[in-house]
């Protein structure tokens, strides 16, 4: 890909600026960069999901014009997105064959041929999945396999994997690497997009580094070391973050006892008799594989989901069954995983987004009538404090960049002075500097007598931040772990998968005094 | 009886499955009812009548498509516009061409064929229930099976449903969301056109506003039928029977005709209330 | 509305009138007279002009009713029925309580009518909350049922045998609103409509409640997340919407007709929706928007009176406006996004 340019109209950001990428056939090529550097955009252009504004694409030396997903497939390029694009209601087989179903003479679907094709595919790639299962019943790791099979089915030579490991647990990551290596031996080319450097160094042959929409370095992986790559990605040497917190037994602020939550239809329990305690002055983490009740539990903790049985208490005040507003008034703030769908209203103004949760309270409104002046003043000071850059406060939220939108949400939730802050995927989509800022803020909160609950699928982050880790599996909290030096990601991963001792155990606490941790980069 | 509703509902089914909210069914049916009978009368040829009716509906469907898919207009609004337009336009044309705003009776219209199924027709009781309807009605039932077949056994059907379920995923698989939606709109035009024909031609009459909410009922039938042709068939059957019941009651019981006309709507409403409507995640609970 | 919006609206108005012009030229034998009658007629004397304003009054109110529900992203399609029911109820109460002095009767009847038509609309909201029934459909169905019911009553129990059409007897004269511009129909209800509209404007702009409605309309999941009770907002916005619709019909009756006439309010609801769309859901803009619609209606009637064109033209032009309104929406979209997919609400997700 040569001199690719791309500008996004919606927020006038330049995503790619004369970007180049050269991938050798049969190699595993890493494309790294911070969040927002342009990696996904570049690949989306290659795969027909976005249109470039400038530049050219050459495949095998021949100039190609890729204008749609179909063009990409015709040229042997397929991509597995970070968020899987599978039809939940269809079976594995139907998804794999979507778009290129096997038909017989009369034009309708040939079931036998379809099945045969799917079996053949699974055979050649040494993967096996029950082909008649409906996708919504599969785990994330399995869904990824379906995606890979789907693009294999299109006779793809270039596999683009966009942040494939972000939804996987350690064991699944290893399985993925096996698959990638197998594909390589079959002569396929892999483009591996990631910002997790240990993985990149483990599996890739060559690397291209993007920063701010430009490619700034390229070469065989052996020619780089991690520190160098970090430096190139970020533009500076990453400092070691100090999170000093005395290790003590802190009082419990938010206590969850025997909580059960039913699913939307009210039939099956997705959370079963869960017990959780979030302590003051601590950062607690909740980890679990998707679809194991993690999201539902969190929603129950903020009042967004009905509780079937059990209770939630904040400082001995019963909150079960109360409204969302009661939860907020009691001092619980929540930053949801779906920032723009749940956590903000992108068509509303920045001002509205900031004040939405506190509008009914005294300084902002009196007896039902809004005091715009006070609202503006407070919102503007928050914007200054959190350094939210971009537009005037009356401008609509979608004029801000992703990072700034997150800051707005953060500002709103933290400024409400909560006793407990619940954050899901704290650094999702953020670049290095913003991530550090969030970590600092969270540590500050924990240090000043509040409690923080993070829900993250990024185990490195969890190990770095959390004092205590709860693991949820099939709706039950099966382990409560203290974050000791002996705790490994693999152990957590095993628990998340349901292997390993299914009882509450606490690692021997051999930490004394202060801890000085460095986030592995 | 239920034929116009069934046709329109099948049309609505396609757009529904592609993820669009098509409320222009009413307007398309009305325009087709007018143009089909007008053309048939003009040329003394039923086939031309059918083609004219379908043609005008498809034209409007294309308009809806261009406005909402190409030009990003709000499809709900466009649909509403189609309905308003059809209402005003048909009455205007009726008064211009025939100098009448009420019922227009076409005397010289060729009549629609009836069909007697050979054996079934002989069975004493069932015979009169199952046989002896117009060709058009049988066509409608046949269409149900045709649609079911297309939707579940052909790649096109899979792709269409995929577009409605998750358009991003479909796009990722190389399926053109735009094209499928456009096609669905055109199909809805074809079917509502048929529905309109089925409304005016058998009666040899055109009345201003004769669709009388059937287009909306068709939409309800699509939702009641949970988005599959057989379900839609049953739903249309229910509505058709409710209307028939209302007519029968009117003849045998001396109730205000208006109350009876309200009956199908009431039944529909009760159905919707009683039926288990799929809950959405998040909002509400 | 910012400057861009104003130009867009001018474009719509222009396009619609242009279309009307074409239709007239095509269908009239004496185009010159017809065009003059159509475009200028409504302003030509106090009678026509007064009628123009009078016919705008109910449209303002139904427009405002639609604005409220659309702001909350709820599709209240039952406006026709709510108008009709409100009117009938108003007439009925005016008979029953004939002996009341007007000063007492007015607030009494108004509040009952507001509540009842409001409840009719809120019923759809309730069904949505409890049984997840699509409000678009339920409001429509309930509206049809209401209309037929009222019709049945008018045609049988309450019919006036002396009237030449399906209508009820008149209620007491003293309840009629004062006429402002005789011999036209313009009545004091004008002021009521303006007061209501302005009050709603204030509420929507400056109150917490108005903020909550707007936010719920923009992103209900977020609204719920901030602590807003979405179900409450849904019900209340439907209630308000229905209430205003009922008032629209009632004010029309008390101002002009003095009795309930079958079908008198046909189109008030649908045109109200169009008014709201042109007004971009801003209550204050519903006033000029309604005036424009009323102008079209009157232009056609006056035209039919004074020349040879048919009044149905108005209906067709109004519908054309609908199309151009959607074209208006297209302008905003073309500016913002390029590429990607069309906005396609699935029938369960966005219509509530």
CATH number at residue A87: 3.40.50.300
Q: Between chains, do B174 and A70 touch, taking CB under 8 Å as contact?
A: yes
| Same-domain status, A409 and A497 | no
Distance from CA of A424 to the nearest CA of C (A): 14
| Same-domain status, A309 and A265 | yes
Which two three-digit tokens encode residue A364? 């902002």
Sheet with strand A28-32: strands edge to edge: A77-80, A158-162, A189-194, A28-32, A206-211, A214-220
> Looking at beta carbons, which residues of chain C come within 8 Å of B71?
326-327, 330, 333-334
Q: Between chains, do C229 and A347 touch, taking CB under 8 Å as contact?
A: no
> Exposed/middle/buried for C252, CB within 10 Å: 0-12, 13-18, 19+?
buried
Tell me which chains share at least 3 CB pairs under 8 Å with chain C. Answer: A, B
Q: Between chains, do B154 and A108 touch, taking CB under 8 Å as contact?
A: yes
* pLDDT attached to residue C336: 42
For B66-70, the CB contacts below 8 A with 24+ separation are: B67/C323, B67/C326, B67/C327, B67/C330, B68/B20, B68/C326, B68/C342, B68/C343, B68/C344, B69/B178, B69/B181, B69/B182, B69/B185, B69/C342, B70/C342
| Same-domain status, A269 and A223 | no
Helix axes B3-17, B229-252, angle to 10 degrees: 150
Q: Are A489 and A267 in contact (CB under 8 A)?
A: no
> B76 — contact with chain C (CB < 8 Å)?
yes
Q: Between chains, do C225 and A334 touch, taking CB under 8 Å as contact?
A: yes
Q: Between chains, do A87 and B169 touch, taking CB under 8 Å as contact?
A: yes
Q: Between chains, do B85 and C133 touch, taking CB under 8 Å as contact?
A: no
Please compute the mean of the pLDDT values over residues C203-213 and round it to a whole number: 91
Q: Between chains, do C219 and A348 touch, taking CB under 8 Å as contact?
A: yes
| Same-domain status, A324 and A454 | yes
> Looking at beta carbons, which residues of chain C come within 8 Å of A342?
221-222, 225
Q: Between chains, do C211 and A359 touch, taking CB under 8 Å as contact?
A: yes
* pLDDT digits (tens), chain A, 521 positions: 766 666 665 555 677 777 788 888 888 888 887 766 777 788 888 888 878 777 888 887 788 888 888 888 888 888 888 778 888 888 888 888 887 777 776 667 777 777 888 888 777 766 677 777 888 777 777 888 888 888 888 888 888 888 888 777 777 888 888 888 888 888 888 888 887 777 888 888 888 888 777 778 888 888 887 777 777 776 665 555 545 455 567 888 888 888 888 877 677 788 888 888 888 888 899 988 777 888 889 999 998 888 888 889 888 888 888 889 999 989 899 999 888 888 888 888 888 898 888 888 877 888 788 888 888 888 888 888 887 877 777 888 877 877 788 888 988 998 888 899 999 988 877 777 778 888 888 888 888 888 999 998 878 788 888 888 898 888 888 888 887 777 777 778 778 777 755 443 333 333 333 333 333 33
Final residue belonging to a domain, choices A382, A413, A444: A413
Q: Are C267 and C290 in contact (CB under 8 A)?
A: no
Query: What is the rounded CA–CA span in Å between residue B149 and residue A292?
Result: 37
Peptide bond into A297 cis (omega under 30): no
Final residue belonging to a domain, choices A389, A413, A437: A413
Number of domains comprising chain A: 3
| Same-domain status, A213 and A247 | no
Give every CB contact of residue A378 below 8 A, 6+ residues apart in sequence: A354, A355, A363, A364
Residue from the list B92, B178, B262 with its beta carbon closest to the beta carbon of C149 = B262
Q: Are C313 and C307 in contact (CB under 8 A)?
A: no
Q: Between chains, do B174 and A107 touch, taking CB under 8 Å as contact?
A: no
Residues 361-420 of A with CB under 8 A from C: 365, 368-370, 372
Sign of CA dihedral B223, B224, B227, B232: negative
What predicted TM-score, i.e. pTM, was given to this entire model?
A: 0.80
Query: What is the rounded CA–CA span in Å between residue C221 and residue C232?
Result: 14
Q: Between chains, do A150 and B173 touch, taking CB under 8 Å as contact?
A: yes
* pLDDT digits (tens), chain B, 285 positions: 678 889 999 999 999 999 888 888 999 999 998 888 888 888 887 788 889 999 999 999 998 888 888 777 777 777 877 887 888 788 778 777 776 666 777 766 666 666 555 555 555 555 555 555 667 788 888 889 999 988 888 888 888 998 888 888 888 887 888 999 999 999 999 999 999 888 888 877 788 777 777 888 888 788 777 788 888 888 888 778 777 777 777 666 666 667 777 777 787 788 778 876 655 433 332
Q: Between chains, do C218 and A360 touch, taking CB under 8 Å as contact?
A: no
Distance from CA of B278 to the nearest CA of A (A): 8
> Looking at beta carbons, which residues of chain B come within 8 Å of A264?
279-281, 285
Which two three-digit tokens encode residue C183? 């011999």
Q: Between chains, do B155 and A101 touch, taking CB under 8 Å as contact?
A: yes
pLDDT band at C230 (very low <50, low <70, confident <90, very high): very high
Please compute the mean of the pLDDT values over residues C103-129 and round it to a whole number: 91
B/C interface, count of CB pairs below 8 Å: 178
As a whole number, the mean pLDDT across chain C is 81
> Looking at beta carbons, which residues of chain B come within 8 Å of A94?
158
- The CATH code of domain B3-106+124-274 reads 1.10.3470
The two beta strands, A28-32 and A206-211, are parallel
| Same-domain status, A264 and A386 | no
Query: What is the rounded CA–CA span in Å between residue B87 and residue B79?
Result: 12
Selection from A287, A260, A245 nearest residue A451 by Cα: A245
pLDDT at residue C351 greater than cutoff 50 = no
More confident residue, C64 or A236: C64
> Looking at beta carbons, which residues of chain B come within 8 Å of A306?
285
> Looking at beta carbons, which residues of chain A come within 8 Å of C221?
341-342
Residues in chain A: 521
Query: What is the rounded CA–CA span in Å between residue A59 and residue A25?
Result: 10
Query: What is the rounded CA–CA span in Å between residue A295 and residue B282?
Result: 11
Instruction: Tell me the residue range of the domain where A211 lies.
Output: 2-234
Instruction: Give me the domains of chain C, ranges plus CATH numbers.
Output: 50-295 (1.10.3470.10)
Q: Between chains, do A69 and B165 touch, taking CB under 8 Å as contact?
A: no
Q: Between chains, do B155 and A109 touch, taking CB under 8 Å as contact?
A: yes
Distance from CA of C219 to the nearest CA of A (A): 6
Q: Are C184 and C255 in contact (CB under 8 A)?
A: no
* pLDDT attached to residue C346: 25
* pLDDT attached to residue C116: 94
Q: Between chains, do B95 and C312 touch, taking CB under 8 Å as contact?
A: yes
**Nearest chain B residue to C327, by CA:** B73
Query: What is the rounded CA–CA span in Å between residue B277 and residue C7?
Result: 43
> Looking at beta carbons, which residues of chain C come within 8 Å of A325?
227-229
Q: Give the 3-state secondary structure percentages of chain B, helix then strand then coil, rounded to 5.
A: 70, 0, 25
pLDDT in tens, B212-260: 778 888 887 887 777 888 888 888 887 787 777 777 776 666 666 677 7
Distance from CA of B284 to the nearest CA of A (A): 10
Query: What is the rounded CA–CA span in Å between residue C132 and residue C124?
Result: 10
Q: How many Cα atoms sit within 13 Å of A227 on the Cβ side?
A: 3
> B281 — contact with chain C (CB < 8 Å)?
no
* pLDDT attached to residue C334: 46
Query: What is the rounded CA–CA span in Å between residue A236 and residue A229?
Result: 10
> A318 — contact with chain B (CB < 8 Å)?
no
DSSP letter at C173 equals: G
Q: How many Cα atoms sit within 13 Å of B153 on the Cβ side?
A: 13
Domain boundaries, chain B: 3-106+124-274
Q: Between chains, do C342 and B19 touch, taking CB under 8 Å as contact?
A: no
Selection from A479, A471, A501, A477 nearest residue A310 by Cα: A477
> Looking at beta carbons, which residues of chain A come within 8 Å of C224?
304, 324
> Looking at beta carbons, which residues of chain B come within 8 Å of A86?
166, 169
| Same-domain status, A147 and A254 | no
Residues 99-158 of A with CB under 8 A from B: 99-101, 103, 107-109, 150, 154
> Looking at beta carbons, which residues of chain A come within 8 Å of C219?
341, 344-348
Q: Between chains, do C209 and A334 touch, taking CB under 8 Å as contact?
A: no
Q: Are A56 and B147 in contact (CB under 8 A)?
A: no
Which residue is listed with tokens 């503007």? A380
Tell me which chains share at least 3 CB pairs under 8 Å with chain A. Answer: B, C
**Nearest chain B residue to A296, by CA:** B282
Final residue belonging to a domain, choices A197, A212, A234: A234
Residues in chain C: 352
Q: Between chains, do C148 and B219 touch, taking CB under 8 Å as contact?
A: no
| Same-domain status, A369 and A512 | no
Per-residue b or e along A322-341, where b marks 16 or more CB atoms closer than 10 Å to that residue's CB: eebeebbebbbbbbbbebbe
Which residue is listed with tokens 């031309």? B48
| Same-domain status, A314 and A426 | yes
- Helix/strand/coil for C153: helix
């Amino acid at each position: 890909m040569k001199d690719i340019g791309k500008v996004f109209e919606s927020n006038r950001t330049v995503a790619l600026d004369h970007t180049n990428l050269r991938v050798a056939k049969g190699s595993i090529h890493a494309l790294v960069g911070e969040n927002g550097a342009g990696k996904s955009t570049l690949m989306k252009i290659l795969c027909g999901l976005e249109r470039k504004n400038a530049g050219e694409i050459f495949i095998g030396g021949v100039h190609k014009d890729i204008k749609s997903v179909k063009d990409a497939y015709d040229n042997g390029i397929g991509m597995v997105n970070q968020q899987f694009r599978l039809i939940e209601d269809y079976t594995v087989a139907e998804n794999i064959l979507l778009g290129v179903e096997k038909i017989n003479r009369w034009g309708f679907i040939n079931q036998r041929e379809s099945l045969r094709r799917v079996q053949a595919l699974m055979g050649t790639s040494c993967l096996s999945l029950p082909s008649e299962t409906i996708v919504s019943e599969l785990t994330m790791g399995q869904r990824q396999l379906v995606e890979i099979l789907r693009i294999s089915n299109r006779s793809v030579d270039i596999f683009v994997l966009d942040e494939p490991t972000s939804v996987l647990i350690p064991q699944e990551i290893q399985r993925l690497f096996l698959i990638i290596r197998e594909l390589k031996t079959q002569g396929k080319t892999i483009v591996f997009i990631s910002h997790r450097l240990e993985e990149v160094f483990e599996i890739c042959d060559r690397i291209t580094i993007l920063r701010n929409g430009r490619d700034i370095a390229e070469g065989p992986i052996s020619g780089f070391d991690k520190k160098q790559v970090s430096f190139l990605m970020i533009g500076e040497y990453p400092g070691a973050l100090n999170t000093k917190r005395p290790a003590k037994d802190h009082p419990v602020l938010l206590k969850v006892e025997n909580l059960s939550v039913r699913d939307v239809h009210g039939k099956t329990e997705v959370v079963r008799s869960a017990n959780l305690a979030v302590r003051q002055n601590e950062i607690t983490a909740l980890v679990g594989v998707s679809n194991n009740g993690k999201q539902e539990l969190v929603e129950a903790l903020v009042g967004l989901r009905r509780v079937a049985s059990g209770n939630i208490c904040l400082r001995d005040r019963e909150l079960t069954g109360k409204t969302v507003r009661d939860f907020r008034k009691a001092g619980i703030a929540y930053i949801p995983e779906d920032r723009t769908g749940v956590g903000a209203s992108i068509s509303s103004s920045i001002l509205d987004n900031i004040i939405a949760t506190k509008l009914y309270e005294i300084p902002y409104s009196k007896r039902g009538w809004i005091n715009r002046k006070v609202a503006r003043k407070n919102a503007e000071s928050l914007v200054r404090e959190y350094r939210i850059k971009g537009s005037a406060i009356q401008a609509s939220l979608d004029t801000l960049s992703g990072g700034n939108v997150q800051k707005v949400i953060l500002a709103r939730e933290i400024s409400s002075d909560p006793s407990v802050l619940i954050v899901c995927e704290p650094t999702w989509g953020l670049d290095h500097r913003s991530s550090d800022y969030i970590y600092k803020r969270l540590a500050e909160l924990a240090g000043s007598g509040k409690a923080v609950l993070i829900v993250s699928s990024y185990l490195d982050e969890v190990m770095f931040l959390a004092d205590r880790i709860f693991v949820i599996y099939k709706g039950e909290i099966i382990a409560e772990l203290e974050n000791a030096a002996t705790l490994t990601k693999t152990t957590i991963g095993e628990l998340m998968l349901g292997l390993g001792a299914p009882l509450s155990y606490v690692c021997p606490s051999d930490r004394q005094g202060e801890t000085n941790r460095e986030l592995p980069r | 009886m239920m034929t116009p509703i069934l046709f329109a509902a099948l049309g609505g089914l396609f757009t529904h499955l592609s993820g669009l909210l098509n409320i222009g069914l009413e307007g398309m049916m009305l325009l087709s009812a007018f143009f089909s009978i007008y053309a048939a009368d003009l040329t003394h040829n039923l086939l031309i009548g059918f083609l004219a009716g379908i043609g005008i509906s498809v034209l409007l469907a294309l308009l809806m498509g261009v406005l909402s898919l190409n030009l990003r207009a709000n499809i709900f609004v466009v649909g509403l516009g189609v309905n308003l337009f059809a209402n005003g336009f048909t009455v205007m044309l009726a008064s211009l061409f025939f100098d009448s705003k009420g019922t227009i009776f076409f005397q010289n219209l060729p009549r629609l064929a009836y069909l007697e199924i050979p054996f079934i027709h002989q069975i004493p009781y069932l015979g009169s229930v199952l046989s002896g309807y117009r060709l058009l009605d049988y066509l409608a039932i046949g269409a149900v099976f045709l649609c079911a077949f297309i939707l579940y056994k052909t790649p096109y059907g899979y792709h269409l449903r995929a577009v409605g379920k998750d358009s991003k995923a479909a796009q990722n698989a190389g399926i053109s969301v735009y094209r499928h939606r456009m096609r669905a709109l055109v199909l809805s035009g074809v079917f509502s056109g048929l529905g309109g024909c089925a409304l005016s031609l058998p009666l040899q009459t055109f009345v201003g506003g004769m669709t009388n909410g059937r287009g909306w009922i068709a939409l309800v039938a699509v939702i009641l039928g949970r988005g599959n042709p057989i379900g839609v068939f049953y739903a249309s059957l229910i509505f058709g029977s409710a209307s028939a019941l209302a007519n029968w009651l009117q003849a045998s019981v001396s109730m205000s005709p208006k109350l009876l006309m309200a009956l199908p709507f009431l039944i529909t409403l009760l159905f919707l209330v009683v039926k288990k409507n799929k809950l959405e995640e998040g909002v509400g609970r | 509305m910012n400057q861009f919006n104003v130009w867009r609206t001018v474009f719509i108005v222009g396009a619609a009138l242009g279309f009307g012009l074409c239709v007239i030229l095509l269908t009239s034998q004496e185009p010159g007279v017809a065009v003059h009658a159509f475009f200028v007629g409504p302003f030509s004397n106090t009678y026509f002009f007064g009628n123009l304003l009078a016919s705008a009054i109910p449209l303002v109110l139904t427009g405002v009713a639609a604005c409220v529900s659309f702001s909350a992203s709820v599709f209240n399609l039952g406006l026709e029925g709510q108008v009709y029911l409100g009117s009938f109820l108003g007439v009925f109460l005016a008979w029953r309580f004939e002996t009341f002095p007007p000063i007492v009767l007015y607030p009494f009847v108004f509040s009952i009518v507001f509540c009842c038509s409001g409840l009719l609309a809120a019923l759809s909201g309730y069904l949505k909350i409890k049984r997840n029934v699509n409000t678009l459909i339920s409001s429509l169905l309930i509206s049809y049922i209401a209309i037929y019911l009222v019709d049945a009553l008018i045609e049988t129990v309450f019919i006036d045998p002396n009237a030449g059409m399906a209508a009820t007897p008149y209620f007491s004269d003293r309840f009629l609103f004062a006429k402002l511009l005789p011999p036209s129909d313009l009545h004091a209800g004008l002021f009521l409509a303006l007061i209501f509209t302005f009050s709603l404007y204030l509420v929507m702009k400056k109150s917490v409640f108005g903020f909550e409605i707007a936010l719920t309309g923009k992103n209900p999941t977020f609204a719920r997340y901030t602590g807003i009770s979405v179900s409450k907002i849904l019900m209340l916005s439907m209630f308000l919407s229905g209430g205003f619709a009922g008032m629209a019909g009632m004010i029309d009756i008390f101002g002009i007709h003095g009795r309930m006439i079958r079908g008198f309010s046909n189109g008030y609801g649908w045109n109200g929706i169009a008014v709201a769309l042109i007004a971009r859901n801003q209550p204050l803009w519903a006033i000029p928007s309604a005036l424009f619609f009323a102008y079209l209606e009157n232009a056609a009637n006056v035209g039919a009176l004074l020349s040879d064109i048919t009044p149905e033209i108005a209906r067709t032009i109004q519908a054309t406006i609908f199309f151009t309104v959607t074209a208006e929406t297209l302008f905003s979209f073309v500016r913002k996004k390029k590429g990607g997919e069309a906005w396609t609400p699935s029938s369960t997700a966005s219509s509530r």
